Chain A
Amino acid sequence: MAITEAEVRHVAMLARLALTDEQVQHLARELSSILGHIDEIKALDLAGVEPTAHAFPVRNVMRPDEVRPGLPRDLALANAPEARDGAFVIPRIVGAEEGA
């Protein structure tokens, strides 16, 4: 199964990745070869094998409804490119969307 360059551009847009034409060509080849491997797996006879999301037969892992200490705000904001009034600052959204 081959991935087209148009598909690479679509996925890149969804993931908010800016790719050069060169990278698009490269990734189209690389993703196609990965899907090629999956085609090999698909050729196996897996009739009667349940789809598996997890390899371990573990179920119902939950936690009790209890409050635990979180992060102090200065630590939470420590790696933010910009912070103000205790909040993360993000650039204007609508304009950015239009330009994407």
Chain B
Amino acid sequence: MAKDRLAGVLERYEAVIGLEIHTELTSLNSKMFCGCPVAFGGEPNTRVCPVCLGMPGALPVPNEAAVEATVLAGLALDCEIARFSQFHRKNYFYPDMPKNYQISQYDLPFCTNGRLDVEVGEGDAAYVTRIGITRIHLEEDTGKMIHVGGAEGRIAGADFSLVDFNRAGTPLIELVTEPDIRTPEEARRFAQTLRTIFLALGISDCSMEEGSMRVDANVSIRPRGASEFGTKAEVKNMNSFKALHDALAYEIVRQADLLDSGGRVVQETRHWDAGAKRTSALRSKEEAHDYRYFPEPDMVPFEFTDEWIESVRAKLPELPAARRDRYVSDLGLPKQDARLIADDVALSRFFEAAVQAAGASRAKPVANWVLGELSAHLNATGAAVDECGVSPAMLAELVVLVDDGVISGKQAKEVFAEMVVTGEMPGAIVERKGMRQVSDEAAIEAAVRKVLDENPAEVSSYRAGKTGLVGWFVGQVMREMRGQANPAVVNEVVRRLLEQ
């Protein structure tokens, strides 16, 4: 396994990795240059028009919201925003591209020279690495092809292919990093962190499975201490963060084996096969990469004023890293818990509403419920947090009931399971089921005495030194009181009476 050999290889070689990440702006209503809707799937060629089909004479007009979303992404990543910019035509032939050119950006992208600080590793081994962002530009996505005949949808050996242009023209941003990434784990963390930012900006659903976020990597290796770059290979077709990590690990080890055996790395595009866990070379003609970029004559250039850029900056939401830090410093959450909540926009909104209702001093138990029972419920049902049947007010009331000692933690879990189904407020469930926790010492003492009287043998054993029996007595008392007793009080009374 390449993964097992990676650490050994990285002792002798340094990997140099740059990422190219394409993200569809799926939150927009309409396509990049026409009014066709942006959506996933559906019947082939049902979201097309003369513009996205590239029919002669059809004129593209850029989507204002897509331009703004790209600049917003640039501002979130500390990019410089171009004052003057324009679209270019990138010419090449492929059947999923109707016009035989893609409208993209060339030497005047909207955003350049940004950075993202990425936290890698956990605990004592954790470190922060700054990854430079070369550029972010806006372009249009291509259509999709289905290959018919031959082996299972692979292009090689297919008899013919079907083309669906529903996706053609979907607004797509391309982000290119500097070659600042040194390990597969750093690459994975960069992509994950970027995803949480784009989700926070609300510009894309960033689904790697559905292809709305696609990560390609350029990777080369060089002997430790060398300053010159080695020959790079481009790796494509990684459909998950794990695939990104594994493909890079494989590729680094492959290149090291090549160099170690006296061979050389060839500059080429390689395809990750997640099933076979290997990369293989894609056939391509170098000549074909002559894109003959020229300014898009169908659209006029952009000039962005400082005022406009600042008006976009004003729309920047709180980003996950800042939110996490706030949860740690203001609410006292452990860093790991804070990150788990802060990375998810909807979960954060829920958490903050619940904390507001329950009081900031109860932020920790609220976080425990959000990451515990609530997350388990979301995972089990697949529901979104906004429509999972539990409101922030319900969870807050539950936390207060436990904190005030009205019900035990165990009872609270029952109430949670009940309110998920009925939608009732937890207080109402506690009333209706008579679930109130009994903390009254006299009532508890009566129950304890009854249990001790009924079990003289166990009492003798305890008094003879088998003090571990205390838990058994507590259990008996809890059962006697139908689980409604305050366990802390029961524990204390049991010990006191046994010691008498």
Residues of A with Cβ closer than 8 Å to B?
10, 13-14, 16, 53-54, 56, 58-71, 73, 76-77, 84-94, 97
Contact = CB atoms under 8 A, between A and B. Distances in A.
A53 B301 contact: yes
Contacts of B30: 65-68
17 contacts: A10-B290, A53-B295, A61-B62, A62-B62, A62-B63, A62-B67, A63-B61, A66-B30, A68-B49, A73-B46, A76-B48, A85-B44, A90-B160, A92-B159, A92-B161, A93-B158, A94-B283
Interface in B28-63: 28-30, 34-37, 43-50, 52-53, 61-63
B63 A88 contact: no
B173 to A, nearest CB: 15
Interface of B: 28-30, 34-37, 43-50, 52-53, 61-67, 86, 91, 93, 95, 145-146, 155-165, 283, 285, 287-288, 290, 292, 295, 297, 299-303
Contacts of B300: 54, 56, 58-61
Nearest to B93: A16
A56 to B, nearest CB: 7
Given A91-B160, A93-B161, A94-B156, A73 B45 contact: yes
B202 to A, nearest CB: 13
SS of A interface (majority): loop
Given A14-B287, A16-B93, A65 B28 contact: yes
Contacts of A65: 28-30, 63-66
Contacts of A68: 30, 34-36, 49
A73 B43 CA distance: 10
A58 B297 CA distance: 13
B162 A70 contact: no
A70 B47 contact: yes
A78 to B, nearest CB: 11
A76 to B, nearest CB: 5
SS of B interface (majority): loop
Contact of A70 (B48, B63, B287, B302): B48
A66 to B, nearest CB: 6
A49 to B, nearest CB: 16
Contacts of A69: 35, 49
A62 B45 contact: no
A72 to B, nearest CB: 9
Nearest to B84: A59
B62 A63 contact: yes
A60 B47 contact: no
A26 B382 CA distance: 66
B26 to A, nearest CB: 13
B442 to A, nearest CB: 68
Contacts of B29: 65-67
A91 B163 CA distance: 11
Contacts of B155: 93-94
Given A13-B287, A63-B62, A76 B36 contact: no
A62 B161 contact: no
Contacts of B146: 87
Contact of A59 (B44, B46, B63, B303): B303
A84 B64 contact: no
Contacts of A97: 283, 285
Given A10-B287, A70-B35, A73-B46, A88 B303 contact: no
Nearest to B65: A65
Contacts of B161: 89-90, 92-93
Contact of B64 (A10, A62, A77, A85): A62
Contacts of B292: 14
A61 B93 CA distance: 28
Contact of A92 (B47, B160, B302): B160
A40 to B, nearest CB: 21
A67 B160 CA distance: 33
Contacts of B288: 14
Nearest to A58: B300
Contacts of A70: 34-36, 47-49, 52
A69 B44 CA distance: 16
A77 B45 contact: yes
Given A53-B86, A76-B53, A92-B161, 14 more contacts: A14-B292, A56-B300, A59-B303, A69-B49, A71-B48, A85-B162, A86-B43, A86-B44, A86-B164, A87-B44, A87-B163, A88-B45, A92-B159, A93-B161
